[in-house]
Amino acid sequence: MAAPPVRPLELVPRFRNQGYAADDVAARRAWIEARAGVSLPLVAAFTIPSEQMRGNIENPIGAVQMPLGLAGPLEIHGEDARGVFYVPLATTEGALVRSYERGMVTLTRAGGVFARVLRDENVIAPVFVLEDAAAAVAFADRVVGDLALVKADAESTTAHGRLLGITPRPCGRDVIVEFHYETGDAQGMNMIAAATDRACQGLVERHGPARFLQFSGLSSEKRASGALLAGGKGKTATAAARIPAAILTSHLHVSAAQLEDTWRRSVIGHLHAHSVGFNAQYANGLAAIFIACGQDVANVANAAVGVTDFEVIDGGDLHVSVTLPALTVATVGGGTALGTSRECLSLLGCGGSGRARKFAEIVAATLLAGELSMAAALATGEFAAAHEEYGRNRPGADAPERETSR
């Protein structure tokens, strides 16, 4: 490693008010074009008003574009999501949209998807450092008795978040305290980070431990962990369907027994990998819908934890389900109001307040479609062939249109 340079560093250019004016964005982009010797005409060709980027990005130089496709029809029988949906998916992975579409058509033909949000709370887990383990245990005891004040402090910072409970957990001389919140339709991490910061300051004032850190890592935000399966994070959602044998055959060229066999063999592989949960391609669907709909895409890391199950029932039909303990989604806040995100959410009837549970049900049903389609492709050996056909930049055979004429 070289010695520190003596020359000044060249920062990305600064502008008044942090540089969200269109001219500032252009100037910043021109600076990097000149410095790197490249030309960025497509980055420049964005249509989001640059001032609207404030709060979503710093040092903006434009926008990236990612192709947007449509998969459906997806009939959902949720508590909030009811009806037939066409889901916007942003991706550059050929065959992905076709794969989800195929699953959706099959599910819809079979009568649709049952979907539910089973639990809805977000968790944050700061850690307090005490003098020793004895002090830590004593502090944990006091925290439990202090809920009313903790709640008052936390909720004083937010109009939307509600503190549901706290769970202190002594770990040596540390005490990790889990704060459980209801965050309404927002993903809510910034909201609950601020609320918890205030509450922790109050705890320090009243009970005198030396200090705390805002995150201990226990809550597994943007990470995969066993704790997500055990305790959840954000919305815990499920989606499931029963599919008659005849529809499996006609739409997926597969039997329920083949799908169950594929599931069992994949489960064995997952167990030997010590994977977190079991799934075929949650991350594909999550990334595509999160990018389209202005979600925090890094949350794919936690949201992709769950368990998919395939089972033969009634002598040849299929029951298929996904259980998603950490589906952190939002319809307000973050990138949800920004340009194409708002349009994509509106396409699903999920723009704005009161829609987060509906959106969660749609996401869960979408993932179910992906699991079904992927398992069928594996079971029939079509996977490689499908990617050969769709994953290349050349015209191929027309897509099947059979369904429309049925």
Comparing CB distances to its own copies, the nearer of 150 and 240 is 240
Task: Characterize the bridge pairing of strands 127-129 and 211-213.
Answer: antiparallel
CA 80/CA 313 separation, integer angstroms: 27
- For its own copies, what does the binding mask look like between residues 18 and 37, x meaning CB under 8 A? x-x-------x---x--xx-
Contacting residue, 10, 145, 148, 315, with its own copies by CB under 8 A: 10
The pair of three-digit structure tokens given for residue 323, joined into one six-digit string? 């259980």
Instruction: Tell the smallest beta-carbon distance from residue 377 to its own copies (Å).
Output: 8
Instruction: Tell the smallest beta-carbon distance from residue 116 to its own copies (Å).
Output: 5
Contacting residue, 27, 245, 347, 352, with its own copies by CB under 8 A: 347
Contacting residue, 203, 324, 326, 344, with its own copies by CB under 8 A: 344
Contacting residue, 86, 156, 165, 249, with its own copies by CB under 8 A: 86
168, β-bridge pairs = 177
| Residues 199-238 contacting its own copies, CB under 8 A | 213-220, 222-231, 238
Active-site amino acid positions? 93, 296, 387
Q: Does 56 bind its own copies (CB under 8 A)?
A: yes
CA 96/CA 281 separation, integer angstroms: 10
CA 178/CA 154 separation, integer angstroms: 13
The pair of three-digit structure tokens given for residue 258, joined into one six-digit string? 């083949």
CA 238/CA 217 separation, integer angstroms: 26
How many degrees, rounded to 5, is the angle at CA 382 between CA 377 and CA 385?
130
| Residues 113-172 contacting its own copies, CB under 8 A | 114, 116, 118, 125, 127, 129, 132-134, 137, 140, 169-172
Comparing CB distances to its own copies, the nearer of 84 and 152 is 84
CA 23/CA 373 separation, integer angstroms: 47
Residues touching its own copies, count (CB under 8 A): 195
The residue type of 124 is I
Reported in sequence order, the residue ranges of 125-173 that DSSP labels E, i.e. its strands, are 127-129, 162-171
Instruction: Tell the smallest beta-carbon distance from residue 70 to its own copies (Å).
Output: 5
Task: Characterize the bridge pairing of strands 174-182 and 307-313.
Answer: unpaired
Contacting residue, 17, 145, 148, 159, with its own copies by CB under 8 A: 17
CA 78/CA 168 separation, integer angstroms: 35
Backbone angles phi, psi at 169, to 5 degrees: -145, 100
Helix axes 383-390, 356-380, angle to 10 degrees: 110
The pair of three-digit structure tokens given for residue 102, joined into one six-digit string? 């195929």
| Residues 282-311 contacting its own copies, CB under 8 A | 282-284, 286-288, 291-292, 294, 296-301, 304-305, 307, 309, 311
Q: Does 250 bind its own copies (CB under 8 A)?
A: no
Q: Does 352 bind its own copies (CB under 8 A)?
A: no
- Those residues whose C-beta lies under 8 Å from the C-beta of residue 327, and which sit 6 or more positions away, are 234, 235, 236, 237, 303, 360, 363, 364
Stretch binding its own copies (CB under 8 A), from 107-115, 146-154, 158-166, 352-360: 107-115
- Residue 362: name the closest of 14, 77, 37, 45 by CA: 77
The pair of three-digit structure tokens given for residue 259, joined into one six-digit string? 């799908």
Q: Does 332 bind its own copies (CB under 8 A)?
A: no
Stretch binding its own copies (CB under 8 A), from 94-102, 145-153, 158-166, 354-362: 94-102
Contacting residue, 244, 245, 316, 352, with its own copies by CB under 8 A: 244
Stretch binding its own copies (CB under 8 A), from 146-154, 158-166, 333-341, 355-363: 333-341
Instruction: Tell the smallest beta-carbon distance from residue 17 to its own copies (Å).
Output: 4
Instruction: Tell the smallest beta-carbon distance from residue 148 to its own copies (Å).
Output: 22
